[in-house]
Amino acid sequence: MEFDNEKIKILVIDDSDIIRSSLKKFLLEYDIEVITSNDGLEGLQRALEHKPSLIFLDLMMPNLDGIRLLRVMKVMEELKRIPVIVISGHTDKLNVIAATEAGADKIVSKPLSKDVLIRSINDVLGNNFLGRIKKFVNLSFAEKEQMTKELKKYFINSLANKREILKESLDHKNRELLKLVVHELKGSSGTVGYHNITDLCRVIEELIGSSASSWKEIEEKCVELTDLFTQAEMTFAK
């Protein structure tokens, strides 16, 4: 893929603040303009407005999910040639097939890692793309550590709200709301290093999706999850 002299634009469409911030933090190390959106409808508008060189797209989002958004983009003349990397916590065989059939160029799993991001972008845009883009900033180890700490702080501060959503979903036995919050937590927690939360969210997702699991089992795991929230908060505060 060839690019002109205009600054490269990459659009990130994901409802997780942590994922958007993490991707932006990584991409801003290069001379790249990063545009973000937190839902599918807004993402479609941003894509039409900015005509990015690449789109990162989450599958599970409010208003317009990733699969439907992909299908819409691939029939629009202005957008259909823009490559799309799907980022999702749900990369089982059915989701991979659905995303590929809808037009995704690549699918990567959350939590994200720098090596996977570099490899994915280079695979999709070709010719060692990131290697040819000048570094916009050259962060020191201390600066990178500070940015990581700030992302962790943002995640920790979001846990009070996640507790409320978990409580609401459990009180009303709302599986869809519970599935949404657990899915978001699964991706964002691993991205900032809380892999125990990611692993437990994965277990809860499996329970939610299984007809053999009882609501009591789901509730017990959610209690364990809020205990991990507390542990993370206490550890970060030290």
pLDDT band for 134, please (50, 70, 90 cuts): low
- Is the pLDDT at 5 greater than 60? The verdict is no
Q: What are phi and psi of 14, to 5 degrees?
A: -160, 140
Output the average pLDDT for the chain.
Answer: 88
pLDDT band for 25, please (50, 70, 90 cuts): confident
- Is the pLDDT at 137 greater than 70? The verdict is no
- Is the pLDDT at 90 greater than 80? The verdict is no
Query: In this predicted structure, what is the pLDDT of residue 147?
Result: 73
What range does the domain containing 230 cover? 141-237
Q: Is residue 223 part of a domain?
A: yes
CATH at 152: 1.20.120.160
Residue 68 or 94, more confident: 68
Last residue within a domain, chosen from 132, 158, 189: 132
Q: What is the DSSP letter of 80?
A: T
Query: In this predicted structure, what is the pLDDT of residue 56?
Result: 97
For residues 29 and 97, what is the distance between their CA atoms, to the nearest angstrom?
A: 32
Q: Are residues 73 and 185 in the same domain?
A: no
Q: Which amino acid is at 165?
A: I
Number of folded domains that form the chain = 2
- Is the pLDDT at 93 greater than 90? The verdict is no
For residues 8 and 13, what is the distance between their CA atoms, to the nearest angstrom?
A: 17
Q: Is residue 1 part of a domain?
A: no
